[in-house]
């Protein structure tokens, strides 16, 4: 997922109905909620697990002409086809010393941000497939340095996946070559040592991109989450997924407790599912009311750039503002949406209210757009 627009400080427009024992009017926590949060904070290791497509981001500041050369659109995310395959070598040759390499992939980005904010090492576990090559080594090293417990599946059929990040001004276009990421199989979950981390986790997150690789693994994790009364979160991630991978997405949807998406993604989702509306608030309510396997209500979060983010929960809509970051402080928007989700998840796994989750989500998103790519210092300044 990506979010166009600019993030800064949080300001809720409407208050959400609170299900976690917090008195919103007085701003005080009940004793039971304090006890719950303390319990979670002392048992945070392994609390969050995600499966996604691990990719090494190859990032450059390019021109509109370079976008047109590969028929790309600003602020879009696509899978590479034959006409896009030369872009990776072309970036290295054209931009040379200006190329940045950052471990990425939407799910891993969000989980790295969540781990950063949680602080306790190995709070987050990540599943994905890479090759035992230099790019795979970089991904593993960087993720482990960030405190993420990486449990890669390895393949010799394809090289480690890469993603071209073509930045033009404050915008960016993503072209992903899944390669090894596309080789992930659900057999990885059958291994006792890996399933132990699934059993330990209380929250799960998948971007929508693995729908193109191994939807069976996503479904297996989602069913486990339902059976064990845990929490499963998913991102729509890109408009093309809502259109061309509608079937596996809708098979998974009954198990999803939290859905994330931006304005472009939810509009495409609405068209694909014949909602007969492009009003974002109506779409949020319709997604929230889709059939669900558990009685727990589904929460839908829609980001709209500099406009207030929309949250649909329990049949009501709330909006959460983000003050605009001055243009001269924005470096690029790559990873902003992933950081938003990571900020949200970091608070969700601690039992915080939706308002607290949104406050941290906006903070994380605004922080990342002031960095080069989805990068951050060792210690967050979030309070």
- The HSE-up count of residue 202 (CA atoms within 13 Å, CB side) is 13
**3-state secondary structure at position 43:** coil
State how far the Cα of 136 lies from the Cα of 129, in Å rounded to an integer.
9
State how far the Cα of 266 lies from the Cα of 98, in Å rounded to an integer.
34
Alpha-helix runs per DSSP H in 212-273: 215-227, 239-244, 246-252, 263-272
Q: How far is CA 376 from CA 22, 103, 146, in A?
A: 31, 12, 10
Catalytic residue among 33, 57, 338, 356: 338
Q: How far apart are the first and last CA of the chain?
A: 25
- Is residue 312 within 8 A of residue 281, CB to CB? The reply is yes
Dig out the tokens for 377 from the structure.
């210092």
Alpha-carbon dihedral sign for residues 107, 181, 214, 287: positive
Alpha-carbon dihedral sign for residues 295, 296, 297, 301: negative
- Is residue 300 within 8 A of residue 284, CB to CB? The reply is yes
State how far the Cα of 25 lies from the Cα of 322, in Å rounded to an integer.
21
Pairing of strands 299-304, 124-130: unpaired
**Nearest one of 370, 355, 382 to 24, comparing CA atoms:** 355
Pairing of strands 316-322, 10-12: antiparallel
The DSSP letter of residue 161 is P
The DSSP letter of residue 98 is G
State how far the Cα of 24 lies from the Cα of 6, in Å rounded to an integer.
27
State how far the Cα of 21 lies from the Cα of 84, in Å rounded to an integer.
51
Residue 338 annotated to the active site:
yes
The DSSP letter of residue 185 is -
Residues tagged active-site: 338
């Amino acid at each position: 997922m990506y979010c166009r627009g600019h993030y800064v400080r949080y300001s809720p427009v409407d208050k959400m109905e609170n299900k976690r024992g917090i008195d919103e009017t007085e701003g005080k926590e009940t004793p039971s909620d304090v006890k719950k949060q303390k319990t979670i904070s002392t048992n945070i290791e392994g609390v969050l697990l995600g499966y996604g497509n691990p990719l090494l981001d190859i990032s450059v500041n390019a021109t509109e002409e370079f976008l047109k050369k590969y028929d790309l659109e600003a602020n879009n995310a696509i899978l590479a086809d034959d006409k896009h395959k030369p872009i990776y070598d072309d970036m290295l040759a054209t931009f040379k010393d200006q190329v940045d390499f950052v471990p990425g992939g939407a799910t891993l980005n969000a989980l790295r941000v969540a781990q950063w904010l949680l602080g306790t090492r190995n709070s987050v576990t990540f599943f994905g497939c890479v090759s035992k090559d230099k790019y795979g080594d970089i991904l593993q090293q960087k993720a482990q340095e960030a405190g993420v417990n990486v449990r890669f599946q390895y393949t010799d059929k394809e090289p480690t996946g890469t993603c071209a990040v073509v930045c033009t001004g404050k915008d960016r276009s993503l072209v992903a070559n899944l390669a090894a990421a596309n080789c992930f199989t659900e057999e990885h979950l059958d291994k006792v040592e890996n399933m132990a981390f699934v059993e330990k986790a209380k929250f799960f997150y998948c971007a929508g991109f693995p729908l193109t690789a191994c939807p069976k693994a996503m479904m297996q994790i989602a069913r486990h989450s339902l059976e064990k009364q845990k929490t499963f979160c998913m991102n729509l991630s890109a408009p093309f997924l809502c259109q061309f991978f509608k079937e596996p997405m809708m098979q998974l949807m009954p198990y999803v407790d939290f859905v994330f998406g931006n304005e472009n993604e939810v509009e495409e989702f609405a068209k694909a599912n014949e909602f007969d509306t492009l009003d974002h608030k109506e779409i949020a309510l319709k997604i929230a009311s889709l059939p669900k396997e558990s009685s727990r209500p589904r929460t839908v979060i829609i980001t709209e750039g500099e406009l207030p983010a929309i949250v649909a929960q329990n049949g009501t809509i709330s909006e959460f503002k983000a003050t605009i970051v001055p243009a001269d402080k924005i470096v690029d928007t790559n990873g902003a949406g992933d950081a938003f989700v990571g900020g949200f998840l970091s608070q969700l796994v601690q039992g915080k209210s939706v308002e607290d989750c949104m406050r941290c989500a906006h903070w994380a998103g605004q922080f990342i757009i002031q960095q080069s790519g989805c990068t951050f210092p060792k210690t967050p300044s979030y309070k």
